[in-house]
């Protein structure tokens, strides 16, 4: 077992633990792919599957055994750890639950470590495609992909939260993005999508009212790679622990120029829609 002082642990050891935990969870749920074994309905569009719970249990067991003094906040468990003063693991056991249940291979297991207000390391692991994206303060994410700067050449992911307000805003923005950009995706796995932006597989992302647990890991990986995360006012968005009770919205891109082009375009689209 590792020494139980989170502030003194080697970042590399903690990143390795996060990667092992994500991979073990992915291995445990892979056979469930395409099965809608619903254990709880949380709303009109949101469900919990047996795979969510299995992944949660695997991750919590490993983290608790090796880092018992680091609190765990999970989408499928307690969130009281947000209020603690020490480091916390932030876990989304299965980003893209609906995709997983319907047999759409676009999902991920995501772990992030907050120390103080900031994320210090993160892992986004795709258990189906074998993709893994990770970064830490000592090991930034590297990508050799060329950053697209022209919206007309960009593939953009548009993701909203489950609220009717967020979905309505996404529907309002869709025509503007579709008219201007090369391609618009609606993939419903925000954490994985931000990581794919960092990797260059997707050029940009528009995120409306996500939960912090869904996006904190992917956002950290993007920023570690030198990417851009803008809030609605055009300021660089800094993901912090205190945002856990707030909806998180942003425009993300590897290119700062593309992010600002998209934000301007979206604000104009919302303004036009509100006048109609």
> What pLDDT is recorded for position 268?
82
Evaluate whether residue 77 is within a structural domain: yes
State the Cα–Cα distance between residues 270 and 170, nearest whole angstrom: 10
Q: In the structure, what pLDDT confidence band is assigned to residue 80 with cuts at 50, 70 and 90? A: confident
CATH of the domain at 12: 3.30.540.10
Q: In the structure, what pLDDT confidence band is assigned to residue 15 with cuts at 50, 70 and 90? A: very high
Same domain, 131 and 227: no
Same domain, 11 and 127: yes
> What pLDDT is recorded for position 271?
67
Same domain, 46 and 126: yes
Residue in 97, 101, 107, 45 with CA at minimum distance from that of residue 76 = 97
Evaluate whether residue 83 is within a structural domain: yes
As a whole number, the mean pLDDT across the chain is 92
> What pLDDT is recorded for position 47?
79
Does residue 162 have a pLDDT over 90? Answer: no
Summarised one tens digit per residue, pLDDT across range 227-245 is 999 999 999 999 999 999 9
Same domain, 190 and 270: yes
Please tell me the total count of domains within the chain.
Answer: 2
Q: What is the arithmetic mean of pLDDT over 107-121?
A: 97
> What pLDDT is recorded for position 81?
85
Give the least confident one: 55-59, 82-86, 124-128, 200-204: 82-86
> What pLDDT is recorded for position 221?
98
Same domain, 15 and 129: yes
Domain termination residue (choose one: 136, 171, 197): 136
Same domain, 91 and 178: no
Same domain, 94 and 121: yes
For 32, 35, 94, 99, 102, the CA distances from 28, given in Å and listed in that order, are: 9, 14, 12, 17, 18
> What pLDDT is recorded for position 97?
95
The percentage of residues in the chain with a pLDDT greater than 70, rounded to a whole number, is: 93
State the Cα–Cα distance between residues 69 and 6, nearest whole angstrom: 7
Summarised one tens digit per residue, pLDDT across range 132-148 is 999 999 999 999 889 99
Domain that holds residue 36: 6-136
């Amino acid at each position: 077992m590792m020494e139980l002082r989170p502030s003194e642990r080697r970042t590399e050891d903690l990143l390795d633990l996060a990667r092992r935990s994500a991979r073990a969870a992915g291995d445990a749920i892979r056979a469930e792919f395409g099965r809608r074994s619903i254990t709880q309905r949380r709303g009109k569009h949101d469900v919990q599957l047996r795979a969510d719970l299995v992944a949660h249990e695997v991750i919590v067991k490993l983290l608790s055994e090796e880092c018992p003094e680091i609190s765990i906040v999970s989408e499928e468990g307690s969130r009281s750890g947000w209020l603690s003063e020490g480091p916390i693991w932030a876990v989304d056991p299965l980003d893209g639950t609906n995709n997983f249940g319907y047999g759409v291979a676009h999902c991920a297991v995501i772990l992030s470590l907050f120390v103080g207000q900031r994320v210090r390391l993160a892992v986004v692991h795709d258990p189906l495609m074998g993709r893994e994206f990770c970064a830490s303060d000592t090991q930034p994410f590297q990508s050799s992909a060329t950053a697209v700067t022209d919206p007309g050449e960009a593939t953009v992911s548009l993701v909203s939260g489950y609220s009717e307000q967020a979905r309505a805003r996404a529907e309002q923005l869709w025509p503007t993005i579709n008219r201007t950009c090369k391609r618009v995706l609606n993939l419903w796995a925000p954490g994985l999508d931000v990581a794919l932006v960092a990797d260059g597989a997707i050029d940009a992302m528009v995120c409306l009212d996500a939960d912090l647990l869904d996006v904190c890991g992917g956002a950290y990986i993007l920023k570690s790679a030198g990417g851009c995360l803008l809030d609605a006012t055009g300021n660089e968005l800094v993901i912090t622990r205190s945002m856990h009770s707030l909806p998180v919205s942003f425009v993300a891109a590897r290119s700062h120029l593309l992010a600002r082009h998209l934000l301007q375009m979206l604000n104009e689209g919302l303004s036009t829609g509100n006048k109609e």
